[in-house]
Each structure stands twice: as C-alpha cells, then as structure tokens.
Amino acid sequence: MMIYGVLLLKNGMIWLSVLVLFVTIISGQSTAFTYQGNLTNSGGPASGNFDFEFRLFDAADEGNQLGAMVPRLAVPVSNGVFKVDLDFGDQFPGSVRYLEIRLRTAGSIGYTVLAPRQSLSATPYAVRSLNALNAVIANSAQQATTATTANNALQLGGVAANQYVITTDPRMVNARQPTAGSESYIQNQTATPQASTGFSIDGIGRAGQFDAASYKIAGIDVLRVSAADRNTVIGQTQISSVATEDNVLVGYETGRNSSTETGGTWNTFVGSRAGTGNIGSNNTGIGAGTRFQGFPNGGGITLIGADASASFPFNTITNSTAIGYRSSVNTANSIVLGSVAGQNGADTTVNVGIGTSSPGARLHLRNSASRTLFGELNCNTSFAAISFSTSLDCGFYAGIAGDGNSVIVNRRTGHFVLFREGNVDQIFILPGGTIQLNALGAGTVGSQSTLCRNSSNQIAFCGSSSVKYKTDIGTYFGGLDVVTRLQPVAFTLKSDGNRDLGLVAENVNEIEPLLTYTDKEGAVDGVRYERIPVVLINAIKEQQSQLERQSQKISEQEKRIELLVKIACEANRSLEFCKEN
C-alpha cells in the first residue's frame, strides 16, 4: 500500500497540511507499506536530501507508541516529492492509528516534529487478513467439489468431521453401565447422605458449603466439628467421653484425658498432645505437649512452649501467662518467662527484649531513645540492678542495684542524683558528691539544730560530747594565745558574688590545725567555726584569772594605803585627808 501526504517547509519549519492515502502492495502479503509525500518550502516545492523519523501511535495526541521508530536517512526530495517504505510490524488490529513524522535537513542537528499526527485511512488494514485465525480452511476442503463435502471439511477445535455424533445416534439414548441412579455416581441428596459410597475426583473443585461431622485423610480423622458441644478438633485423635464445650484443639493427639475432663470450656490448644486433662476455662495453650492437668478451677491461662505447663498443679491460678520450654506459672496475675521445667527463667543465658531485637540484659525495655535494663551487675553478679543507661557495668550504669541486704544508687561520672516532690527539686547530690538542700526544717529553742560533717565525712549534729564518743581525753590549753592571733577578714564569695566575713582556713591552720578540716585529697578546705567557742572558753578563763590576780593586788595596795593614812593622821590630824576621814 502507499500513503501520500503533502508537507510544507516554511521559514525552516515543516508543516503537514494534507494527507491522501493510497495502497500499494510491496511484496505479497506483509506489514510493510509505502508512504509518499510532498514537501513545499515558502510556497514552492522543496528539493534536497532530508533525514526522516516515523512513529506510529494509537492516539492523535499523547497515547502509546506502537512498534519501533523507523528512521529513513538522506531521503532525496525532488520537486517536493519523496517516497519511503515503512514497516511497524503487526500493529493494525482494526483500531485507528496515527503517523507522526519528524525530519531535518540531512546531516543537521535536531528533528522537527510535524503536527498534527496523520490518521491512517482504512486501506492499510488489508494486512489484517494475515491474522484472521478463525478463517481456517480444512485441507480436505481444497479438493471439495460440492457444498456437502465442503461443510464436512470444516473442523471444530481440530476434531475431524467423522468424529461428530448427531442427536439421533442410538448411542445417545441406549442405556448402559453405569445406569441412572447407580451408586457409582455422586448423588445430589440433601435430606439423606449417600451411604457406603466413596468417590475419587482429580482436579480442582469448588463448593459453597460443606456439612460433615468429621473429615479423614489417609483413613485418619483429622477434623471434627461437634454441633452439640461446639468443639472443633484438628488432629489425629478426637475428643471422646468428655462433657466440655466451646473448645478448639489443634495437635497430634488433640483428645484429652476423659477421666479428669469434666467441665472445661472456651479453651484453645495448639500442640502435639494438646489439652490433656484440662478442666479449667478460658485458657490458651501453644506447645508440643500443651495441657493443663490437675486444673480444677483455674482459668484465663496462656501457655506458650514446647510441653508448656505439663502436669503442674495449678489449683485456682487465674489470669497468668507462661512462655518458654516447659515453663510453668504458679501465681495468679503473673507472666513467667522460662526455658527449663520448674526453673522459670533460672537459665542466665536467656535475655528478653521489648522494643529491641538485641537485648543487652535479662530484660531490656526500650522506648524511643530511653531504655531500661534489668539484670545482674557485670562486676558483681550477686547484685541485681535496674539500669537506665545502655550498660550494667559498674561505674557506667545509672540506676539502682541490690543484693537483698544493701542497696546501691549509682550515677554516671559528671552527673547528678535528684530527689523531687511534686516535680519540685528538693535534694541534689551534685557531681563530686556535693549535697544541695533546697529546703530545711525550722529550728526550735533548746534543740540541737546545728549540723556538722565529722571526720568520717558524715553529716551529724555538732557537739556530740558524750564520753562514750571519745578516747584519749586530755586538757586543751589553747586560749588567748590562739584567739589573739586569729585575723577576721571580709571577702566576696566567688560562687554567688555576695559579701561575707569570716576566717581564712589556711591562716587558721597555721595557728591551730584543730580549728580546720581538709578535703578528700588532704588539702585544707575550711574552718571549724563550731570549735572556736571552745578556744574562747580558755581565753575567758585566762582573762578571769588575770582579773582576779589584779583585784587581789589592788586590795593589798588599798590596805597598805589605809595603814599609812592612819599613821600619818595620828601624827598630824591637821592634814586635809585626815579631816575627811
């Protein structure tokens, strides 16, 4: 076939104006066709060599491209006329097709798209005859000379004409085995089941609903549903002689011990020997030997483990969960993680993680960036600990530890411990051990309200003076000689910038070391102001002794003066002081 079009080339741009369609067979029946067009340039016919690209689409705009792009390079155009052969393959099923053309001057850069795309007329669809698969002519029809032989030559699905059977054929009505109603057929009966009849069907079937008391595989009951007690059992052994109801059992021996099975309900068991001896209610067991033997009243129990809770006396335990190989739970409202029967998690190699796939302790809880570890301290396994950091190593964890007697509160180096009430800060233990008290009680008259730090770095009441606290008791003689050398000073505190007065510890230590204390490195750190009154006692006593001695001297001098006056007055009473006396 041939397609003819008129193309206009103007101001360097190419425009498609008219498309006329003709048919030319290229060679026999094929998918190729010839396209002939006419190029004009500024109203006149174009000449020269041009590069073309042809694309086939299923829509006038956008749509899907069909087949590959067909390039035609250096196509000669003479007096505006050109012709090319195109082949997009089998792309003509009967739907509308559109041809898109792009071109450029041969060897130049960049193609120009001609718009709009050109709709292909019906003529090219003659190639569709290649795919008319239903127009099959039987080989025998090639020699048919009559209408009858031609009709018999037609085939249905490849079956020869002599294989057809007409409705009047006696084979269609003659009775033969199996006859109608034979047990060899599957009977469609809803009222009474077909007795003692098996069937074998190969392939895949569908049914809207099955209604059977049990199902067998290889001669073994594997599924039983009881409408009377509403029990569902999946396994090789069925429930027998039990008065339970509303249970689901899945396992190798799903039948339970009928001698103890008297009233269990609403239970679910999944295990190799599921549900042996259970008489409780609302229980779930998952394990190779899941059962609840000796369980008279307990309920709400969940067991997950290979042989979980085998033969354990549960009594009246309720609302508990056991998880682990042969794990058991013997307390109501509890969760037990274990791996060995009767030990309930004593295996110290087992870690449990919640919120993490890599638990770092016996129990590792993780929520966002925060975490909590429960386990033994790595440096002292006799202490169980709760850590709020990523480690249970001594010195690196922040948390609480205890061994049943002592309790340790630990923090990371450089951090603090804070006690609060109602989210209000009260007591800080700052880095290094400094204690900050934000609230103190009011002192009372006559009470011991002064606090001091003793030599063991303990906070204690000042002046604990009972002899029971002392040894090597001796007289202290320091007094005025110490007090007169102490030099009070005024200063500004570096911590808060406040003005204050007091003594300089280093100066006091040179005078009397007992009036100072040192830090943990042994350096002089402060003045024991509470001890200064002890020194003042001696100073006052010294001053009193001096006053008493001075008073005695004055008394003796007065007596002497009185004697001299008496002697003088006896000798001469005219003296002035003698007249006064």
Region 307-333: what's the mean pLDDT?
62
Q: Is residue 70 part of a domain?
A: yes
Q: Give the end of a domain, one of 293, 324, 350.
A: 350
How many whole angstroms from its chain centre is CA 505?
58
pLDDT at 492 over 90: yes
Specify the pairing of strand 335-337 against strand 321-323.
Answer: parallel
What are the residues facing 437 on neighbouring strands?
Answer: 427
Structure tokens at 26: 């290229």
The three-point CA angle 557-562-566 to 5° equals 150
* Whole-angstrom distance, CA of residue 219 vs CA of residue 56: 65
275 part of a folded domain: yes
Average pLDDT in the 329-342 region?
Answer: 62
Q: Is residue 460 part of a domain?
A: no
Residue 151 lies in a domain: no
What single letter denotes the amino acid at residue 185?
Answer: Y
Q: What is the DSSP letter of 443?
A: P
Residues 312 and 361 in one domain: no
Which domain-ending residue is among 131, 154, 183? 131
Last residue of a domain, one of 391, 423, 438: 438
515 domain residue, yes or no: no
* Rounded-to-integer distance, Cα 244 and Cα 282, Å: 12
Q: What is the CATH number of the domain that holds 66?
A: 2.60.40
CB contact set of 59 (below 8 Å; sequence gap of 6+)? 98
Q: Which of 80-94, 112-126, 464-478, 510-524 has the lowest mean pLDDT?
A: 112-126
8 Å CB contact between 84 and 52: yes
Report percent pLDDT > 90 for the chain: 13
Least confident piece of the model among 89-98, 117-126, 286-295, 495-504: 286-295
How many independent structural domains does the chain possess? Answer: 3
Question: What is the phi-psi region of residue 218: left when phi exceeds 0, alpha when psi lies from -120 to 50, beta otherwise?
Answer: left
Residues 316 and 415 in one domain: no
Residue 162 DSSP one-character state: G
Of 263, 370, 287, 11, nearest in space to 278 by CA: 263
Contacts for 527 with CB less than 8 Å, ≥ 6 apart: 502, 503, 505, 508, 515, 516
Contact 301, 336 (CB under 8 A): no
Mean pLDDT, the chain, rounded, equals: 74
Model-level pTM? 0.38
Domain of 429, in residue numbers:
353-438
Q: Quick: pLDDT tens for 197-233.
A: 677 778 887 877 777 767 777 777 778 777 767 777 7
Is residue 358 located within the same domain as residue 335?
no
CA distance 174 to 196: 28
| Rg of the chain (C-alpha set) | 57
In the predicted model, what is the mean pLDDT of residues 335-346?
54
Q: CB of 24 within 8 A of CB of 39? A: no
Per residue in 401-442, pLDDT tens?
Answer: 898 889 989 888 888 888 999 989 888 888 888 888 777 666
Cβ 105 vs Cβ 50: under 8 Å: yes
Is the N-terminal amide bond of 116 cis, ω within 30° of 0? yes
Instruction: Name beta bridge partners: 124.
Output: none
Q: What is the mean pLDDT of residues 530-545?
A: 89
